Amino acid sequence: MRVRVMAGVVLLTMCCGAQGQEKGPWKPSRGIEQVPLWPEGKVPDARAAKGPEEVSSTGMRDLVAGKPWTAVSHVARPTLSFYPAKGKNTGATVMVFPGGGYEILAIDLEGTEVCDWFTQRGVNCVVLKYRVPAPRSEPYWGAYPQSAMALEDAQRAIRLLRARAAHWKIDPHKLGVLGFSAGGHLVAAVSVHWKEPIYRPMDAADKESCRPDFGVVLYPGHLSLERNSIALTKDIRDRIASDDPPTFLLQNEDDNVDRVEDSLSYYMGLKKAGVPVEMHLYAKGGHAFGLRRTKNAATRWPELVYVWMGSLGLVPAE
């Protein structure tokens, strides 16, 4: 999600006294384990946020499928929140990267609600609260390589999950990433930048691989060079290789925030490299719908992803 669509709404709501705004850092619901991503005092490329971490509801100002959503801003201390599978555990795990233009995180719409859906189907789920400490005006805001923070967090999160696989009863070879908008770009970035760490190893967890076993990219941004072009950004284009993880792509042609060219460019790059890729494009549906069901066909993507995961042997085939 780009800032003009989401963060601007959040800032307006905060200034006007939004209902549901919370004090202090975001935390998951009771009973969900949340752990810090980095050892204390060892966060790479640490940057102070402009203020304390804040949690804000959009209230009635920006509804998605008739409901408000929650944004987290000024994130300087990243965390993992682990949602265990309910019923029979398939061992598969989806790590979710919420969108928000690398400025905020749509923590429920594109985070916890995804975990609610997957855990009901025996898939473990993780919400990564990655660093978004700065507004767009700051030099260390944005996507890699302009800012390394979010990609460092994504690499570390995958390694930490694999290091804790026994503790959380997950299969370390069935670990994928799923992201929306800016989070979709982060999925692409961590999917092609897995052969070399971009931070100095901290502990034993950093001996694990940070290659995702699969990637799900939903209405991504920051991937095409310009409008009406399917030329990939250089950083992604130069890193794609045949052993990158299989990928699922979805976007709407009327998305007026992140262009359909972002998905098309990544699809063509993966296809050219021989990476297994599946893409779904729809005429209508816009941007930033998460998995909230509407009349638009694109909002049925969770079922498509589950079937696709079954074709990869990650969950029982349907």
Residue 1 predicted with pLDDT over 80: no
Residue 17 predicted with pLDDT over 80: no
Determine the 3-state secondary structure of 114 from DSSP: helix
Q: Are 216 and 251 in contact (CB under 8 A)?
A: no
Which band of pLDDT confidence, cut at 50, 70 and 90, is reported for residue 135? Answer: confident
Query: At a CB cut-off of 8 Å and minimum separation 6, what does 19 contact?
Result: 57, 59
The arithmetic mean of pLDDT across residues 16-43, rounded, is: 82
Strands (DSSP E) found in the chain:
33-36, 54-57, 70-73, 79-83, 93-97, 104-106, 124-129, 175-180, 214-218, 247-252, 277-282
Among 140-149, 150-159, 165-174, whose mean pLDDT is lowest?
Answer: 140-149
The share of the chain scoring above pLDDT 90, in percent, equals: 81
Q: What is the pLDDT of residue 141?
A: 87
> Which one is predicted more confidently, 59 or 238?
238
Residue 127 predicted with pLDDT over 70: yes
Q: Is the peptide bond prior to 212 cis by the omega test (within 30 degrees of 0)?
A: no
Secondary structure tally for the chain: helices H, strands E: 8, 11
Residue 194 predicted with pLDDT over 80: yes
Q: Going by CATH, does the domain composed of 7-311 fall within 3.40.50.1820?
A: yes
- The residues facing 94 across adjacent strands are 125, 176
Query: Strands across the sheet with 79-83, in order?
Result: 33-36, 79-83, 124-129, 93-97, 175-180, 214-218, 247-252, 277-282
Query: At a CB cut-off of 8 Å and minimum separation 6, what does 187 contact?
Result: 97, 177, 178, 179, 212, 215, 216, 217, 220, 247
The share of the chain scoring above pLDDT 70, in percent, equals: 93
Residue 13 predicted with pLDDT over 80: no
The arithmetic mean of pLDDT across residues 261-289, rounded, is: 96
Which band of pLDDT confidence, cut at 50, 70 and 90, is reported for residue 140? Answer: confident
CB atoms closer than 10 angstroms to residue 67: 13
The arithmetic mean of pLDDT across residues 114-141, rounded, is: 94
CB atoms closer than 10 angstroms to residue 173: 12
The arithmetic mean of pLDDT across residues 160-184, rounded, is: 98
- pLDDT tens sequence across 72-126: 999 999 999 999 999 999 999 999 999 999 999 999 999 999 999 999 999 999 9
Mean pLDDT of the chain: 91
Query: Strands across the sheet with 70-73, in order?
Result: 54-57, 70-73, 104-106
Identify the CA nearest to 110 among candidates 147, 65, 51. Answer: 65
- The residues facing 281 across adjacent strands are 251
Residue 285 predicted with pLDDT over 90: yes
Query: At a CB cut-off of 8 Å and minimum separation 6, what does 266 contact?
Result: 188, 217, 220, 223, 232, 236, 247, 249
Q: What is the pLDDT of residue 4?
A: 37
Residue 271 predicted with pLDDT over 80: yes
Residue 189 predicted with pLDDT over 50: yes
pTM to 2 decimal places = 0.93
Q: What are phi and psi of 262, to 5 degrees?
A: -65, -45
b (16+ CB within 10 A) / e for 10-24: bbebbeeebeebeee
